[in-house]
Structure 1
Amino acid sequence: MNSCKEILMDLSILYVEDEEDIREMLKDVLKDDFKRFITAKDGEEGFRKFKEIKFDIVVTDIEMPKMDGMTLAKSIKKISKGTPVILLTAYSEKERLFRAIDVGVNKYLVKPFTPDKLLNVICEIAKEHLQKDKIVKLNDELYYDLRKRGVYTKEGESITLTRKELKFLELLVKNRDRVVTIEEIESVIWRDEIFTEAALRALVKRVRQKTSKEMIKNFPGIGYKLIKDN
C-alpha cells in the first residue's frame, strides 16, 4: 500500500452508500488517505454532489433508494465518460454484472470488503485510468509529470528548472491544444511582480536551453504554444 499512498493523496473520491453505519465507518477510516473523501446517502444526493464538485473516482453501492447505483453510474457516464466508477454489490449473478459493463462501470467489488481492499481497488483504477493522463510527452526524450510537477527524461532523470520556468512550462502543458497568450502568462507567473516582454523572452530562452529549442513555438505579439511530438 505504501507505493499507492502518494497516488491516493492526490485523489478526490465520492462514496455513495445508503447504510449510514458503513458510510460513516469508511469515512472515518479512509478520509485521511485521500485529498477529499466525500459521502452521499443515495444516488440522487450523489449525482447532485458529482455535478457540483470535481471527483476523480466514484464508488457507489448498487441497491439504494431514490436512485440506485446502476442508474447513478449511467448518469455520471453521460456527463463525464472518463470518470471511473466502482460498483459495490452483494450480487454475483452474471446478468447483473454484464449490465454494469454495458453501463460503463469500470470495476465491481463484492460486499463485504475491508477498507484495505477498497484502497487497493481505487489505487488500481487510478493507475489504469488516471495516472496516464498525468504524464505528458514533450518529445522523444522528455516527459512532463503533472502530478510531480516536473520534467523528466525517458530514463527518469529530473531536469532542474526554476519556479518560474516550471510554472511557464506547466501552463503550456495544461493548455497544449492552444496558444497561451502573453496576458495569461503574465497573470499566472508574474502576478504582482513587474512584467516585461524582455523578461518573458529570457524565461522562454532558458526553458528551451534546458529542454528543447523546437518544443515551444512563439506567436509574435500573441503568445506561446507547446508543439506536439517533436
Structure 2
Amino acid sequence: MQNDFINKLNAYSVLYAEDEDGIRNNIKEILEHLFKEVTCTKNASEAYIKYLENNPDLIITDIKMGNETGIDLVKKIRKSDSKTRIIITSAYTDLEYLLQATELHLIKYIIKPITQDKLMEALESFVNSYNDSKIYNLIPNWIFDSSKTLVSNGKEEFTLTKKENNFLKLLISKNRIITYGELETNIWDEDSIMTANAMRLFIKNFRKKLPKDFLKNIQGIGYKLVRD
C-alpha cells in the first residue's frame, strides 16, 4: 500500500457494524491501523446511535445482523444525510439486496468473505470519492482537507479560517514563492487593508496549524512551503 493512501485514511473516522464477533474483531484490527478513529457496534440500532454521536466520515455495515439489516440502517441515515460515505458487506449475492443497495449511494458492496484485498479496494474507492474536495499530503502524517478547511496530523485537527484555507491552497497549487502582493490580491478581503501588523498576526496564527518550519518566509519577497 502506498504511504499516500494510508496518510489520507488516517485523516478520517469510521463506524463499523458487524454482528459476528470474529469478523468484527479481525476487521477492527485492520481499521485501527488505518483510521484516526474507529467505532464498532454489533447491531444496526447501536450503529445508528453511534452514527448520531460521532458523525463518522465512513460507515461500513453488514447487511444481515440478527433481526435488523444494514439496508434499513442506511435507509434511515439517507433520509437526512446524503454525504456520509457507506460501504456494505454481505454474504448474500441475492439480486433483491443488490438492487436495494444500488439506490443508497454506496461507495462499495463487498461480498464476504472480506479479504484484505477487497477491503483495501473499497477503502481506496472511499478516498477517491473525495477527489473533488481535494485532499493534500503536506508531509508524512499531515493532511490538508480543503473541503473541510482543516489540517490534521492524525492526532490533532486544526480548523483553518477562510484566508488560511485559501492561502494554503494557493501555496500548494503554485508550488513556488507567493509574493506579498499575491497574498494581498488573492487572499485578503477587498474591504480590508493588509497592514504589516495584520499580515504578521495572520502568519503567526497560520503557522500554529502547520507542521514545524513548513512555511518559510523569503525576506522581502513572500512565503513558500518547505517539504524536505
Q: TM-score, normalised by structure 2?
A: 0.63
Query: Aligned residues, how many?
Result: 167
Matched-pair identity in % = 28
**Of 174, 183, 186, which residue of structure 2 is paired with 1:211?**
183
Q: 1:159 to 1:18 in 2, by over 3 A?
A: farther
Distance 1:39 1:87 in 2: 14
- Please report how far the alpha carbon of residue 88 of structure 1 lies from its aligned counterpart in structure 2 after TM superposition: 0.4
Match of 2:132 in 1: 132
Helix, strand or coil: the match of 1:96?
helix
Which segment drifts farther, 57-66 or 146-155?
146-155
Normalising by structure 1, we get a TM-score of 0.62
Distance in 2 separating the partners of 1:45 and 1:158: 49
Go from structure 1 to structure 2 and tell me whether the alpha carbon gap of 1:159 and 1:75 turns closer, same or farther (over 3 Å shift).
Answer: farther
Cα gap change, 1:159 to 1:61, in 2 (>3 Å): farther
Q: Which has the higher helix share?
A: 1
Query: Does the 8 Å CA contact 1:8/1:33 hold for their aligned counterparts?
Result: yes
Matched, 1:82 2:83: yes
Deviation of 1:115 after TM superposition, in Å, equals: 2.7
Q: Is the 8 A contact 1:43 1:65 kept in 2?
A: no
How far 1:158 sits from its partner (Å)?
A: 5.4
What is the aligned-residue RMSD (CA, Å)? 2.9
One-letter amino acid of the structure 1 residue matched with residue 175 of structure 2: E
Counterpart in the other structure of 1:157: 175
Structure 1 unaligned residues grouped into runs of 5+? 137-143, 162-205, 221-230
Q: CA deviation at 1:132?
A: 2.3
Q: 2:106 maps to which residue? A: 105
Please tell me the residue identity of whatever aligns with 1:27. Answer: K
Corresponding residue for 1:21? 22
